[in-house]
Amino acid sequence: MVSVILHEVGQRFGRRVLFSGLSLRVEPGEVVVVAGLNGAGKSTLLRLIAGLLRPSTGEVWLERAGQRLDAEQRRASLGYLSPDTLPYRALTVRENLDFYSRVRGLPRWDAAVVELLGLADRLEQPVAELSSGYVQRVKLAVAMLHQPAVLLLDEPGITLDEAGHQQVAAVVAEQRQRGCLLLAANDPRDLAYGTTIIRVGG
């Protein structure tokens, strides 16, 4: 099982300090919700955990049985949903899942993820024809394809209807059985998932 550790982490851009002195340990089964105003640093904190940014101060690492994971192990352990990442619009849902499975080195994708997110009847539809809510579901499926030990979700409920929010709840419940989850959000429905809530930006 994989844990996420932040030790005295700070991030600044020029003179602007987003957060400083942040220490946190996230164990399997936990859900940490990162809350704060837009621009406060929620997405930045998830990017630090994903290894896409280096902290200005402090350290971020993942560990298993007390041993730090190297960069390749870290990547294999993480699933990440970001508003900035989009599936390929010209490809069908199935083709996107096939492509991202190959990128992850998976022989095939898990049909249970498709069922969980209500995508079974959309597999042959080009992403360009999907509503924004269904595109969000495809992004969630891509983040979960490899059954990650650590799942990072940045505003997962955005553009989703009530049925979509119920599926996010199912994703959260499943991830708690498999590992841990860090979720950046301000939606009260997302805040309710947190076993721990941290606020950035004051």
Dist CA 191 CA 126 (whole Å): 32
For the segment 22-29, the average pLDDT, to the nearest whole number, is 97
Per-residue pLDDT reduced to its tens digit, 76-126: 999 999 988 889 999 999 999 999 999 999 988 889 999 999 999 999 999
Provide the pLDDT for residue 89.
Answer: 96
The DSSP-derived string for 150-177 is EEEEESTTTT--HHHHHHHHHHHHHHHH
Provide the pLDDT for residue 121.
Answer: 96
**Inter-helix orientation angle 93-103/132-144, to 10°:** 30
Could you tell me the CATH number of the domain that includes residue 123?
3.40.50.300
For the segment 151-169, the average pLDDT, to the nearest whole number, is 91
Provide the pLDDT for residue 83.
Answer: 87
| pLDDT above 70 as % of the chain | 100
Provide the pLDDT for residue 107.
Answer: 87
Provide the pLDDT for residue 39.
Answer: 86
Using alpha carbons, list the distances in angstroms from residue 12 to 18, 40, 57: 6, 11, 9
202 band by pLDDT with thresholds 50, 70 and 90: low
Dist CA 156 CA 166 (whole Å): 11
Q: Whole domain around residue 156: which residue ranges?
A: 2-199
Quick check: 7 and 55 in contact, CB under 8 A?
no
Dist CA 184 CA 202 (whole Å): 15
Q: Is the pLDDT of residue 174 over 70?
A: yes
> Number of structural domains, the chain?
1
Provide the pLDDT for residue 157.
Answer: 87
